[in-house]
Structure 1
Amino acid sequence: MVNMGFNLMLTQEQKLVMTQRMKLSIKLLQMSAYELEKYVDKEVQENPVLDSKVDDGENVNKEIDYKELIKDSTYNKYDYGEYDKNKEEVSPFNFISEKKSLKEYLQEQIIDLNENKNMKAVCFYVIENIDRRGYLEVKDDDISNELKVPLSYIKKAITIIQSLEPDGICARNLEECLRIQLIKRGIEDKNLFYIIDSSLNLVAENKYNVIAKELGINIKKAQEYGDIIKTLQPKPSRGFYTGEEVNYIVPDAYIRKIDKDYYIIMNDNLLPKLTVNKMYKELILKEDDKEAVSYVKEKLDKALFLIKSIQNRKSTVYRVLEKILEIQKDYFDYGIEYLKPMTLKEIADSLEMHESTISRAIRDKYIYTNKGTILIKSLFTTGITSNNVTGQDISVQLIKKKIKEYIEDEDKKKPLSDQKIADKLKDKDIKISRRTVAKYREEMKIQSSKCRKRF
């Protein structure tokens, strides 16, 4: 007989409930400076309770005596925007480049050509079909059918566009792109065209002996052809804005050396100064409409929590940077050779935080230093145990640097194998395997010894 009775049982379990506020706090912490700026702008527009104030820049060019400021200040009292903006090294934005749209650049050239309006219109249409690499993958016939114009018009328009800058633009494939560049240089060597059409893979693999045999030439001549091909641009759109690149990097903080000490100066100009509109505070006290009061209270609560979360983000990033600076002072003084192995766990344990918090605090965040603008994450590196008398671990970054130096100084006729590089490192008390050398070399996008060989 089956027992169908019900029993009441009490169980105890731990469960983490992620509130909306916790989610927002985590979201803000892991945002880059640029993402945070855009998010705050959106919140200011949507929340009437929030007021934002941007510095009017009256004191933009006023020199600051940092030594005086340091004496009795904490990180959040600095306003880096007041430092001399005329000095490029302390600009709040490190502009990578002012990139013009590739299509805009091509259209400007078409406008200046001595062609009739109809042909220019066809050219503009073709330009709109060029992809982000700078190639035209749409078939001539398809464009002809779409525009309902003769195929000869389309072919002429493509020829016109291919005559423009950058060289190789509007090619249908890689081979055509490279051939266009050679022709525009005045080079029409049939051997070069043959290699481009049938042997690009051999060039990439440094198999000049095979190319030489196919063309009936010596290896050195084949290599010269390969060198010419390697000067060509496989992606004509490079250098132009295609929508994929980030326009600028915004540092979250600056690390400045004053006298013998380093100081962390948070980028307070990153965001507008957020405050709560006084009018809405008074409205809560005076307004009799319960719905209006409830609405204002909700918006006020969100505004205050946003302000608090931004301060918490700033405080967390500062604490992490403070610990990094303590560990990596030699790196800031002397360079990458002195970058010590440092892990998320090490920082998390010392600050009594969770590793995930440290990971979020450094995600996509940059600092401006005497080494330039660097990604905070790049300072975290594992170590390889050294056999030297100090017993200290050596950072992977330093090992990669040494591998690169060995390869740059090698005899190109007899390039160093991965095993020989491992042996040279061993002589410096750095014991890593041949496979590890190959791994680091590949991460630096350096070819194998076989592909580096010069004839």
Structure 2
Amino acid sequence: MQMNFNLNLTQEQKLIMTQQMQLSVKLLQMSTFDLQQHIEKEAQENPVLDITYNDTDKESLEKRLDYKEMVKYFEFDNYGHHFYEKSDEDEVSPFNFVSEKKSLKDFLKEQLIDLGVKDYSKFICEYIIDSINGKGYLDSSTEEIGEELGLPSEIIEKAISFVQTLEPDGIAARNLRECLKIQLKKKRYDDEKLYILVDNFLEALAENKYALIAKELNVDIKRAQEYGDIIKTLEPKPSRGFYTGDEVKYITPDAYIKNINGEYFILINDSILPKIIINDTYREIIANEKDKLALDYVKEKINSALFLVKSIEQRKSTIYRVLEKILELQKEYFDKGEKYLKPMTLKDIAESLDMHESTVSRAIKEKYISTNRGTIKIKDLFTTGLSTNNSEEDVSTTFIKNKIKDLIDKEDKNKPLSDQTICDKLNEDGMNISRRTVAKYREEMNIKSSSKRKRF
């Protein structure tokens, strides 16, 4: 057995991302809202950073514009930055005057007061109401509530039944079947077969298996479908339309595309981002240059702050360039609507901008644009295409899906169109598409097959 120890010199190439490069990539893929939170977090961790949302005075403006003077104290000189100020007077938001939201539970408790429920019973009913989840269902069992309150199950069950008489219909049910049956009773349906259907054949109803339901209920298929129609009018989520305590998450557009006198303009939305300021105390340390350790520390922190500012500007520039190219390729879409959306891929944008596809992907990730046609997720504008028989241009999958949906909307529900029939009709219009692709797009739009769309 031989053991040799040799030294070998090899050459290899590796791409190593510095922390600064990683930060730039991270910031690029953030939405405007996420970027706002990131800046606030950085301000908490970096002592030289101050941020403000409401800064219009001249002195503070001069402090921010004086960053270039600070750069000369550092070993780098590539951190140029332009600051854009909002000079408008502070506006009072109309949302300051919106009244407090009334929750579903508040609505239910107010009904107890209106009905004059006694204190003891009121306490039990309010406990039950507080146990209702966000969908309007009662998660706890009768036994669990009885054990928690130290009361017999009979009293708890009676209180639950009372709460179930309140509005909205179906509230405080223990499961979907009970929820639907409560609503049927409130609507005064007394046909026992409706209740049997809810208890035993909801899965079959979801699949439109009316032949099976008709056989089991011993009715004709048309009557079975009428039962199904009644049940489909009921509300499976009683809390719908009420404030349940969860805040609505609003979409913040990352950019605006405005059509002004026939010309499009792109405006990056940085209005919700805080303005970044270097704290006065640390500015003075740099100016005096007395304590070397303190100076080195401050330089490091300001270096980090300036790189953050530069990365934010770079992010803004990249998003702008991507949107500019999208606008150029999809001008007809912005002019005329979804029907004119052209096939467009990440590769198309990346090659035209001399960027990497991953950069374009990060630039559009979870970002929205506000347009004259509403707020749009940028990613939805990217779509593959299908070739046509009578045109040199491909058509987008979105256009094909709209055609499929339009055909299904206009079909005779007694004889719904099969996937093959839809395929034939589209091919007659010059679209080169297969039956399998029609089925795939139909399923992506959550449209059932022809057998499950059939009406009797």
TM bucket (normalised to shorter chain) is 0.7 to 0.9
Paired position in structure 2 for 1:26: 25
Paired position in structure 2 for 1:345: 347
Paired position in structure 2 for 1:126: 128
What SS does the corresponding residue of 1:249 show, helix, strand or coil? Answer: coil
TM-score (norm 2): 0.85
What SS does the corresponding residue of 1:254 show, helix, strand or coil? Answer: strand
Residue type of the alignment partner of 2:425: K
Paired position in structure 2 for 1:448: 449
CA offsets 1:254-275 (integer angstroms, 9 cap, x no match): 1111222211111131312223
What SS does the corresponding residue of 2:266 show, helix, strand or coil? Answer: strand
1:431 aligns with 2:422: no
Paired position in structure 2 for 1:236: 238
What SS does the corresponding residue of 2:253 show, helix, strand or coil? Answer: coil
Aligned pairs for 1:356-371 (under 5 A) are 356-371=358-373
What is the identity percentage for the equivalent residue pairs of Structure 1 and Structure 2?
A: 60
Mean CA deviation greater in 243-252 or 329-338: 243-252
Residue type of the alignment partner of 1:254: Y
What SS does the corresponding residue of 1:171 show, helix, strand or coil? Answer: coil
Aligned pairs for 1:44-193 (under 5 A) are 44-55=43-54, 101-110=103-112, 113-193=115-195
Mean CA deviation greater in 102-111 or 297-306: 102-111
Q: Is the 8 A contact 1:99 1:239 kept in 2?
A: no
Aligned pairs for 1:243-282 (under 5 A) are 247-282=249-284
Q: How many residues align?
A: 428
Q: Is the 8 A contact 1:106 1:127 kept in 2?
A: yes
What SS does the corresponding residue of 1:275 show, helix, strand or coil? Answer: strand
Q: Displacement of 1:110 after TM fit? A: 4.6
Q: Is the 8 A contact 1:175 1:196 kept in 2?
A: yes
Aligned pairs for 1:397-436 (under 5 A) are 397-436=398-437
Q: State how far apart, in whole Å, the 1-side matches of 2:103 and 2:319 are.
A: 35
Q: State how far apart, in whole Å, the 1-side matches of 2:9 and 2:246 are.
A: 55
What SS does the corresponding residue of 2:267 show, helix, strand or coil? Answer: strand
Residue type of the alignment partner of 1:175: R
Distance 1:298 1:181, change over 3 A: farther
Q: Displacement of 1:300 after TM fit? A: 1.7
Mean CA deviation greater in 333-342 or 280-289: 280-289
Residue type of the alignment partner of 2:40: D
Q: State how far apart, in whole Å, the 2-side matches of 1:55 and 1:415 are.
A: 60
Q: Displacement of 1:289 after TM fit? A: 4.0
Q: Displacement of 1:127 after TM fit? A: 3.4
Residue type of the alignment partner of 1:433: S
Q: Is the 8 A contact 1:49 1:300 kept in 2?
A: yes
Q: Is the 8 A contact 1:79 1:267 kept in 2?
A: no
CA offsets 1:75-96 (integer angstroms, 9 cap, x no match): x99889969x99xxxx999xxx
What SS does the corresponding residue of 1:270 show, helix, strand or coil? Answer: coil
Q: Is the 8 A contact 1:276 1:304 kept in 2?
A: no
Unpaired segments of 5 or more residues in structure 2?
A: 58-81
CA offsets 1:174-215 (integer angstroms, 9 cap, x no match): 110111112222323212111111111222222223322333
Mean CA deviation greater in 357-366 or 204-213: 204-213
Residue type of the alignment partner of 1:141: E
Paired position in structure 2 for 1:41: 40
1:10 aligns with 2:12: no
Paired position in structure 1 for 2:307: 305
Q: Is the 8 A contact 2:32 2:270 kept in 1?
A: no
What SS does the corresponding residue of 1:186 show, helix, strand or coil? Answer: coil
**212, 218, 221: which one pairs with 2:223?**
221
